[in-house]
Each structure stands twice: as structure tokens, then as C-alpha cells.
Amino acid sequence: MKSTAPRVTHRVAVIGGDGIGPEVIAEALKVVRAGGVELDTTFFDLGGARYLRDGEVLSDDTLAALGEFDAILLGAVGTPGVPPGVIERGLLLKLRFSLDLYINQRPFTGTAPGHTQPHSFVVIRENTEGSYAGEGGVLRKGTVHEVATQGSVNTRFGVERCIRYAFELAAQRERKHVTLVHKTNVLTFAGDLWQRTFDAVATEFPQVGVAYNHVDAACIYFVQDPHRYDVIVTDNLFGDILTDLGGAVSGGIGLASSANLNPARTGPSLFEPVHGSAPDIAGKGVANPLAAILSAALMLDHLGESATADAIRAACNAPVSGSTIAVGDEICRRLQGNR
Ligand code: IPM
Ligand code: MN
């Protein structure tokens, strides 16, 4: 049934980025529009290629401009020849930290290798603290007495808002279950803060079941028993690593989508596939656009366009193959067939 409500146009900043990023983002935008959602897009040329050309990673002016949009859609960043960290810290993490995108939500649905039944769980990764905060330094670099430290920052405020988000999400889901993943047996300071905060927030949600897994054990369960999970909450680095594994057991990283959320909505949230820029296949037209398309669906959820988001997810459910553009076209065809 067609809606009679006037359509809202959403203002979206698009950072295609490097490698396959622009290719997959073009398909994501095409699919959103085929789903009937109007986007007013502004393209920002940022990433490793831009940095190599004129040195800009993310200026204060560009950051301020990005902050004015309803959402940001990002493809992938990273180019061979740029030293590690320049683009990761200077662009992606700067956006996550400056826009206070404190939740990284990564849903996984699929059938793991060797299993017959599909699983469906979501990882809530803390996105502004932990080892990503950049605490540490180096002394006597390049000498035999070199010292490098890399700390992990865990604040009660940051941990609590992340855990509370995970419980609120679980409370809305059918299974109503949250698993804390950490390494409390070794990281006793940070782990204790996470566990106590988890236990305290859990008392506010008596309807939500709880569990705890050490991160190494969670790696086994992701492969051998992913059905045990509903919502997982974890710190920034564990979440980074676990979500690549989550992709690998859920149909491949080519399907893994993510939402970097500012749930307080004091600014735009950012949506991006979990995969990188894949320079080895860039420009060949063979990159799988489904992760970008599913990330755009997460963006639509956030923008209040859940009906279209659900339709896009449904259209991505049946097998599809072919070139990047052919896959995008096929998803559009399925969507338009259902409108
Ligand atoms: C991710 C990526 C990033 C991260 C990199 C590119 C900084 O691996 O989004 O998972 O580590 O968070
Ligand atoms: Mn990662």
C-alpha cells in the first residue's frame, strides 16, 4: 500500500572513500531510492587517495560541515602507500569520537559453516573508548631501549551508556538476552568495571536474561554455537575483532553492515560496511555491494524509514550474484516488484 504522508527528504553526507568504497556506495544509494526514500546527497572526497593528493585527512571545517547532516554514509577508507593510522585515526576514529558515535551496532544473520539452522544476533561494540582512545606513547624510539605503551580507557559513563543501550535493544527483541563479552580473568581493572556496570544495569531490566563469556571462549561459540547469542555487548577492540569473525560465520564479510550511532541524536550517525577498501579488486566491478546496501538499510532505520529498511533486508535475503552493478540492479528489481 502506498503511504499518503508527505515524504521527508533526508540530507545525507556521502563519503565513498577509497578502493571499492565508491562502487558499493553507488549501489546502496540506488537501492534506497528504488525503495522510494528521497535523499539529498552531498559527496565528500575524503580518504587515503585524497590525503595522498593534497594532505587533507579531515579538516575542522569539513568536520563541522559533516555535523550538519541527518546521516553520513561511508564506503571504505584506506589506500596502499599511506602509513597505518593516518586515515584510520585521522578520519574514521575522528568522526566516531567527535560526533560521539558511542555505539557500533553490527547485526549478524546467517547460517554458520557446518550448521543447518540460521542464527541472528547483534554485537553492540563500545565505539569511543578502550584501546582506541589513543592513550600511550613511545620512548627512545628505534633504540634497543624502546618502550611503547598503549592503554585502554574505560569510563563508568562510557561503559554504562553502552551497556544500557544493549539492554534497551534486547528488551525490544524476541529473545531478550544480553551477553557481556570481556576478559575479566586477565584485564581485571577494566573487566571489573564492565562486569559491575553490567550487573547494575541488568537490575533495571528484570525481563532480560544475561550471560557472560570470556572473549576467547566467545570465538569458539561464534563458530560452534552461534545460536546461543541474541545481543552481545563488548569493548571497542574485542568488538572489532569479534565482528570480523561474526561476518565470517554469517555469510562472509561481504554481507556485514554496521551503524555507528549517536543514540542521543546530538548529531548525525554514520553507517558503513564492516569491510575495508579492498584495493586488490577495486575498479573491477566485482565487489559485493550487499554490506553497503544493508548499512544503508540501518541508516533508514535511524532516519525513521523502517518500512523501506525492512523491505531492503527482505530483498537481500534471497541469493543474488553477478557484478557489483548487477547485484544492485537485482535488489532494486525485487524492491520495485514489491511496492
Ligand atoms: C572497523 C575497522 C576500523 C576499526 C578501522 C578501519 C579503524 O576495522 O570498523 O571495524 O578498527 O574500528
Ligand atoms: Mn574492524
Residue 314 domain-assigned? Answer: yes
Dist. CA 274 → ligand 2 center (Å): 6
Establish whether residue 92 lines the binding site of ligand 1, counting it when its CB lies within 6 angstroms of any ligand atom.
Answer: yes
Are 218 and 91 in a shared domain? no
- Decide if 4 is inside a domain: yes
Confidence of residue 7 (pLDDT cuts 50, 70, 90): confident
State whether 108 and 74 are in the same domain: no
Asked if residue 123 and residue 97 are part of one domain, the reply reads: no
Residue 2 has pLDDT above 60, yes or no: no
Same-domain pairing of 181 and 199: yes
In a domain? residue 140: yes
180: helix, strand or coil? strand
First to last CA, the chain: 7
18 in a domain, yes or no?
yes
Residue 257 in any domain: the answer is: no
- Residue 306 maps to a domain: yes
Asked, for residue 179, whether it belongs to a domain, the answer is yes
Q: What is the DSSP letter of 322?
A: S
E-assigned strand segments in 240-284: 257-261, 269-273
Asked whether residue 3 carries a pLDDT value surpassing 60, the answer given is no
Residue 254 has pLDDT above 70, yes or no: yes
Asked whether residue 135 is domain-assigned, the answer is yes
Using the predicted structure, report yes or no on whether residue 19 has a pLDDT greater than 60. yes
- The DSSP H or E segment spanning 38 is strand 38-43
Q: Cα–Cα distance between 288 and 308 in angstroms, integer?
A: 21
| Domain co-membership, 280 together with 235 | no
Are 108 and 246 in the same domain? yes
Percentage of the chain exceeding pLDDT 90? 96
User: What confidence tier does 337 reach under pLDDT thresholds 50, 70, 90?
Assistant: confident
What pLDDT does 8 receive?
87
- Which residues, at least 6 apart from 31, have a Cβ–Cβ distance to it below 8 Å? 293, 296, 312, 315, 328, 331, 332, 335
Q: Are residues 108 and 248 in the same domain?
A: yes
pLDDT (0 to 100) of residue 284 = 98
User: Grid coordinates 564492565 are at which residue?
Assistant: 194
Total structural domains within the chain? 2
Q: Which of 252, 283, 298 is the last residue of a domain?
A: 252
- Residue nearest (by alpha carbon) to ligand 1 atom 6: 88
> Phi and psi of 123, rounded to 5°?
-100, 125
Q: Where is the domain boundary, 252, 280, 303?
A: 252
Q: Is the pLDDT of residue 41 over 90?
A: yes
Contact yes or no for 257/291 (Cβ under 8 A): yes
CA of 1 to the centre of ligand 1 (A): 40
Nearest to 231 by CA among 181, 177, 182: 177
Q: Model confidence over 267-284: pLDDT tens digits?
A: 999 999 999 999 999 999
Report the C-alpha gap between 254 and 293 in whole angstroms: 10
Q: Mark which of 228, 252, 276 sits at the end of a domain.
A: 252
Q: Is the Cβ atom of 193 under 6 angstroms away from ligand 1?
A: no
Give the C-alpha distances (Å, rounded to integers) separating 181 from 45, 58, 75, 142, 188.
37, 33, 28, 36, 13
Distance 338 CA to ligand 1 centre (A): 35
Q: For the residues 24-35, what does the mean pLDDT come to? A: 98
State the average pLDDT over residues 92-118.
98
Task: Tell me the mean pLDDT in the region 105-132.
Answer: 98
What is the per-residue pLDDT across 142-155, written as a single tens digit (0 to 9) for each? 999 999 999 999 99
Nearest partner of 124 among 108, 105, 109, judged by Cα: 105
Share of the chain above pLDDT 70, in %: 98
Q: Are residues 94 and 165 in the same domain?
A: no
Same domain, 126 and 192: yes
Tell whether 331 and 206 lie within a shared domain. Answer: no
Establish whether residue 126 lines the binding site of ligand 1, counting it when its CB lies within 6 angstroms of any ligand atom. no
- Whole-angstrom CA distances from 89 to 47, 133, 175 are 11, 10, 36
Summarised one tens digit per residue, pLDDT across range 293-310 is: 999 999 999 999 999 999
- In CATH, what number is assigned to the domain containing residue 177? 3.40.718.10
Residue 110: what residue type?
G
Report residues near ion ligand 2: CB below 5 Å: 240
Which residue range(s) make up the domain with 73? 1-101+262-339
Average predicted confidence (pLDDT) for the chain: 96
The per-residue pLDDT for range 194-247, each reduced to its tens digit, is: 999 999 999 999 999 999 999 999 999 999 999 999 999 999 999 999 999 999
Residue 256: pLDDT above 70? yes
Burial 75-88 (b: 16+ CB within 10 A, else e): bbbbbeebeeeebe
Q: Cell 528489481 belongs to which residue?
A: 333
User: How would DSSP label each residue in 65-127?
Assistant: HHTTSSEEEEEE---TTSPTTHHIIIIIIHHHHHTT--EEEEEEEE--TT-SS-EEEEEEEE-
Q: What is the pTM of this model?
A: 0.96
- Please write the tens of the pLDDT for every residue from 45-103: 999 999 999 999 999 999 999 999 999 999 999 999 999 999 999 999 999 999 999 99
User: Which ligand lies nearest the alpha carbon of 237?
Assistant: 1
Mean pLDDT, to the nearest integer, of 4-22?
Answer: 91
What does the alpha-carbon distance between residue 4 and residue 86 come to, in Å, rounded to a whole number? Answer: 48
Which string of b and e fits 178-190 if b means at least 16 CB within 10 Å?
Answer: bbbbbbbeebeeb
Residue 1 scores a pLDDT above 70: no
- Are 62 and 144 found together in one domain? no
Mark whether 203 and 275 lie in a shared domain.
Answer: no
The catalytic residue positions are 132, 183, 216, 240, 244
